[in-house]
Amino acid sequence: MKHYLAYASHDGQTRKIIGKISEILELKGEKVVFFPLATGMEPLPSDLQDTSILIGAPIRYGFHLKPVRQFVQQNLSKLNSANAAFFSVNLTARKAEKSTPETNAYLRKFLEKSKFQPKQAAVFAGALNYPDYKPWDRLMIQLIMKMTNGPTDPSLSIEFTDWQAVERFAEELASPREARAL
């Protein structure tokens, strides 16, 4: 099977996650085609038979990145009839009670608003890299972290991603099971 891995990444964690998923799929003998979303105007390939489409998107200031939102909107009917999957990367998912498709407000809101109905969905916690942020972003993220009882030390770099969860999700993509209800 061929897998199109469509993604947008702001600070690199979503790209790192999609890279791990790609490794696992390729180890299973699957063909992978990276499909970076820079503008949202990228059209889906016309032939989607024997393919799956995985879309990965981070949250930035409460929203999935614009190229992903536009891509889903422009290709909605094709995506909903294809073997499509979606994952969201956000720091809210660092908390166990907000780390599933059913409990993560960002993912639920995106799927409801966009009308996108992926066959599989996942949520992964991202990374917090204060030293790499521009001053304004660092300040805003510290404020958000303070409000959500997260770390605020500006010297911290913490990767919250549960790599075992990423691997399990990739395994499911390689061996599709009956679609989980969202």
Q: What is the pLDDT of residues 139-166, one digit of tens each?
A: 999 999 999 899 999 999 999 999 999 9
Q: How far apart are CA 10 and CA 22, in angstroms?
A: 19
Residue 40 has a pLDDT of 67
Whether 148 and 87 share a structural domain: no
Whether 144 and 156 share a structural domain: yes
Whether 134 and 75 share a structural domain: no
166 is in which domain, residue-wise?
A: 2-126+161-174
For residue 180, being part of any structural domain is answered with: no
If one counts the domains in the chain, the total is 2
For residue 97, being part of any structural domain is answered with: yes
Q: How far apart are CA 136 and CA 158, in angstroms?
A: 19
Whether 71 and 147 share a structural domain: no
Whether 73 and 98 share a structural domain: yes
Residue 50 has a pLDDT of 78
Contact 106, 98 (CB under 8 A): no
Q: Burial, 103: exposed, middle or buried (Cβ in 10 Å; 0-12, 13-18, 19+)?
A: middle
For residue 39, being part of any structural domain is answered with: yes
Q: Would you report the helix, strand and coil content of the chain in percent, each value rounded to 5?
A: 40, 25, 35
For residue 49, being part of any structural domain is answered with: yes
Can you name the residues that pair with 7 across neighbouring β-strands? 36, 56
Whether 19 and 99 share a structural domain: yes
Residue 39 has a pLDDT of 76
pTM of the model: 0.90
- CATH number of the domain that residue 22 is part of: 3.40.50.360
Residues with pLDDT less than 70, the chain = 40, 176-182
Whether 119 and 139 share a structural domain: no
Whether 39 and 90 share a structural domain: yes
Whether 92 and 140 share a structural domain: no
For residue 16, being part of any structural domain is answered with: yes
How many CA atoms does the CB half-sphere of 48 hold within 13 Å? Answer: 18
Whether 110 and 38 share a structural domain: yes
Residue 175 has a pLDDT of 73
Terminal-to-terminal C-alpha distance of the chain = 24
Whether 21 and 47 share a structural domain: yes
For residue 179, being part of any structural domain is answered with: no
Whether 121 and 33 share a structural domain: yes
Residue 176 has a pLDDT of 60
Q: How far apart are CA 126 and CA 112, in angstroms?
A: 22
